[in-house]
Amino acid sequence: MARPLSLERGALTLGVMQSGWLFDLAGLLARYRATYPGIRLKLQHASTTDLGRLLHDGAVDMTFATAFDKSSPEVVSIPLVRSPLIVCTTDGSLGRQGTIALAALAEREQVAFPAGWGITMLVDSVLRSAGIEPRVDLEVNDTNTLLDLVEAGLGVAIIPEAIARLRPNLHQITISDGGWNWTIGAQVLAPTPVNPAARALWAMLRPIEPSA
């Protein structure tokens, strides 16, 4: 079948958060390039907050970022990854409990990502729902550094289980007073991408099944 003329050439600009490996961004883009070799791909790395701004400003065609339950009606999202939030620590006394209440973390040293990151916005919302004002003692903008700090015993982190799996030696503790999921979604301005190159990528996405 002949490729549409609109996809013989052009450009596709994507805004991407960290953790693209969780939904195999590289593999997705490799398949796209093999199918549409005339389309020039451009990537911009940024926080979820900045990516939302870029999308609304028309600076990117599509973003891959944290998706929230209450998103803007101007944005359409396809969920690609969903992972529960857990508490990650080296503290064996906590780890043996298996579960922990958020209130038990109020006085502990916290390791977290910067404000504006989707994970941080979600965690802050979770803590406030438990009557705890969020605080960060050690703030980093790199996943491996965050896990290094937790592994060194410098604090606890509330992070998605999918990220905590990178360090299986760390204790992963279920939050007992509620369950929260972190979701990564592909996002475009409603109702569908204007750029034909973006529509072609949108059609290649495989959404995860909705939660039961």
Mean local confidence (pLDDT), 193-203: 95
Instruction: Return the DSSP state at 110.
Output: B
DSSP 131-178: T-----SEE-S-HHHHHHHHHTTS-BEEEEHHHHTT-TTSEEEEESS-
Average pLDDT score over the chain:
91
pLDDT of residue 89: 94
pLDDT at 138 over 60: yes
Instruction: Return the DSSP state at 195.
Output: S
Mean local confidence (pLDDT), 160-188: 94
pLDDT at 198 over 90: yes
Mean local confidence (pLDDT), 56-83: 92
pLDDT of residue 52: 95
| Contact by Cβ (8 Å): 147, 166 | yes
Q: Which of 161, 71, 159, 72 is nearest to 119 (CA)?
A: 159
pLDDT at 188 over 60: yes
pLDDT of residue 21: 93
pLDDT in tens, 93-121: 777 888 999 998 888 899 999 999 999 99
Mean local confidence (pLDDT), 187-200: 95
Q: How confident is the model at residue 212 (pLDDT cuts 50, 70, 90)?
A: very low
Where do the domains of the chain lie, and which CATH numbers do they carry?
A: 5-80+183-204 (3.40.190.10), 83-181 (3.40.190.10)
Which residues does residue 81 pair with via DSSP β-bridges, in sequence order? 184
**Angstrom distance (rounded) from CA 77 to CA 22:** 17
- H-state helical runs in the chain: 25-35, 48-57, 92-95, 118-129, 143-151, 161-164, 196-204
